[in-house]
Amino acid sequence: MDLLQQAAANRIQALVDEINRHRRAYYEGNTVLIADAEYDSLMHELELLEAQHPELISGDSPTQTVGGSANQAFAPVEHLDRMMSLDNVFSHEEMRAWLAKTSQGPFLCELKIDGLAINLRYENGSLVSAATRGDGVVGEDVTQNVLTIKSIPRKLEGAGHPPVVEIRGEIFFGVEDFAKLNEGLVAEGKAPFANPRNSASGSLRQKDAKVTASRPLRMLVHGIGAWPNPVAAGTPITTQSGMYALLAGWGLPTSERFAVVATADEVLAYIDNFEKNRHSLEHEIDGVVVKVDSLAEQAELGFTSRAPRWAIAYKYAPEQVNTKLVDIRIGIGRTGRATPYAVVEPVKVAGSVVEFATLHNQDVVKAKGVLIGDTIVLRKAGDVIPEILGPVIELRTGAERAFVMPSECPSCGAPLAPSSEGDVDLRCQNAKSCPAQLRERVAYLGSRGVLDIEALGYVAAVALTQPLAPQAAPLHSEADLFDLTLEDLLPIQAQVLDPDTGLPKLDANGEAKVVDFFRKKDGSPAEVALKLLRNLEDAKTKPLWRILVALSIRHVGPVAARSLAAHFGSLDRIFAASETELAEVDGVGAILAQSLREWITVDWHRDIVERWRSAGVQLETPGHNGPGSGAVEGGKFTGLSIVATGSLQQFTREEIEEAIISNGGKAVSSVSKKTTFVVAGANAGSKLAKAEELGIEVIDEEEFKRRLNS
């Protein structure tokens, strides 16, 4: 054996040992030590090496076996027909290559549920046993637990059932059911489950079936095992899709989301569609399974030692990975809220590198049970927000330490305390002078959903509020914003901060990055400086509700601000109203009304309003008829209450509400007898149903545009 072959042999043996260790942990101990993506990477490397060196393939290689041995806590059950695994592909190119070499089609595409494989054995239509996959030959007897799952029939519907048939499927938690389960565990003082698949596995492997019965497990079937070949038996079932129709007719839970397609382009379109919409599904998925639809062609293609040649799994980019929790730090938001966030060893998840993850508040840190130094399970919620699911307790070394919430603001040193009795969140009490709060408020008011000041992004907010010495910050509060001049902007140098953490970004030498943000190298004004001044001038005439949101009053978001602006018509009238008058406005309520009244009693808050007024900011809606009228004089929708619902194609929700309000109407959030008409887009739900029930007129976007322009 030469040196190259010896190196390959050593690596193959290391991979075999490592993968089998993880298999034993999962199948025997119900423990996941690494994320799916890492496991898939190890398997992929092993497959490539064995393809290059087939003489080194051993009998205990994971490429030659399925799953793991049965857990000794449950009686062993031998499957009548071996339960196979699936080979994986990870790109469009690999998928096209598999399709081209496998079949001319048609192909059946279905969702790859992230759950626990199960085998149900029916004899003459009655369920006699249920077993986990195990090593593919022998699984664990979980019959009593499976009998508690409502979606699995004890007796098949219809007639003419085979004497014996094995039904294969996946046990899982729905997304909402999983969230409710974890909420219940946290309320009982117990640690929540890290992810739905582990919780489904743990729930099904309970020695007490009553525990399984208390958890809302579900099942979807995706195939058959032992059964006289339906083609050879002369039955009319000749396709996988036809098989699903038959199983559904027997009362078995089948998915309605599969599709039979003819071409590779259609297969990839199905894959891409569900990757884009995976978070709108009722259960977790980690990819798509593609099968040759013809049962005769499946039989001709056959199997390898561990997987069918007629099926493949397309695995999506990992959304869930393992990494190290390096530290837990505190970020201060625009309302002073102190939010713990995790600093993690950089790891790629869902297509981007993650270094930080939110932890919301100290109670969430406690509920998740994480310690600084833990190996943690991390995912991107909605493909956007990094979220810690929980620790991998089995990998703790004893060097980990608990997080302690600080008592002082890390930005200004002021005390951290609840704003009111019973408030879970701690807040910095120095709202006026805390640099972090000012920075966040300025960045917020420049955002698209508030004043939409394009040149006032996060880095510009940093430059305006926290420049480097010797220059002073041109903004000491939001009051200064509309008084900015070019002379104020040009001298400013600032550190570039990370928008997730507020910490300085570092250059290659480990030094904080510093930029001349508002001027060019020759000293002339940069375009961002000129654009900022133009944007600020335009912002002075933004709709009243946007001005109200820009003040960062706690609890006052766009919905409430629109209602207040439509009802009162001016900022002065809003702040002159009593709590009772404010609370009576649709979408406001007592808590928000109290927050408004408290805000305007603060001296430096009133100074913001007066300085903005002096700078020419428009603090009222032109032509408004006064409190309670909700009308703009001469508006097309004067006196009308209008609801917009569903997915609109030509308007954003914000744009259509602005169109209603600026034309004298009231953009309301709920349908009632007072509603004049409803603008309904695609997938309109309960609001459309309510309108139809009450006999209220429903129009589409085109009709709304016609009325708007008429």
Strands 320-332 and 311-315, bridge-based pairing: unpaired
Collect contacts of 526-530 with beta carbons under 8 A, ≥24 apart.
528/455, 528/460, 529/486, 529/489, 529/490, 530/486
Total Cβ atoms within 10 A of residue 277: 9
The residues annotated with a catalytic role in the active site are 112
Helix H or strand E segment including 693: helix 686-694
Cα–Cα distance for residue pair 219/113, rounded to 1 Å: 10
Query: Can you read off the two tokens belonging to residue 678?
Result: 């409803």
Rg (CA), the chain: 31
DSSP structure string for 599-667: HHTSHHHHHHHHHHHHTT---B-TTB--TTT--BTT-TTTT-EEEEESB-SSS-HHHHHHHHHHTT-EE
Residue 132 pairs in a beta bridge with 118
Query: Can you read off the two tokens belonging to residue 522?
Result: 């020759």
DSSP structure string for 133-172: -TTSSEEEB-HHHHTT-TTS-SB-SSS---SEEEEEEEEE
Cα–Cα distance for residue pair 278/281, rounded to 1 Å: 6
Residues 315-327 as b/e (b if ≥16 CB within 10 A, e otherwise) read bbbbbbbbbbbee
Looking up tokens 């007898």, which residue turns up?
A: 673
Q: Amino acid identity of 474?
A: P
DSSP structure string for 171-229: EEEBHHHHHHHHHHHHHTTPPPPS-HHHHHHHHHT-SSHHHHHTS-EEEEEEEE-SS--
Cα–Cα distance for residue pair 130/167, rounded to 1 Å: 9
- Closest of 671, 677, 682, 678 to residue 647, by C-alpha: 682
- Helices and strands in the chain, H and E counts: 24, 24
Cα–Cα distance for residue pair 316/40, rounded to 1 Å: 11
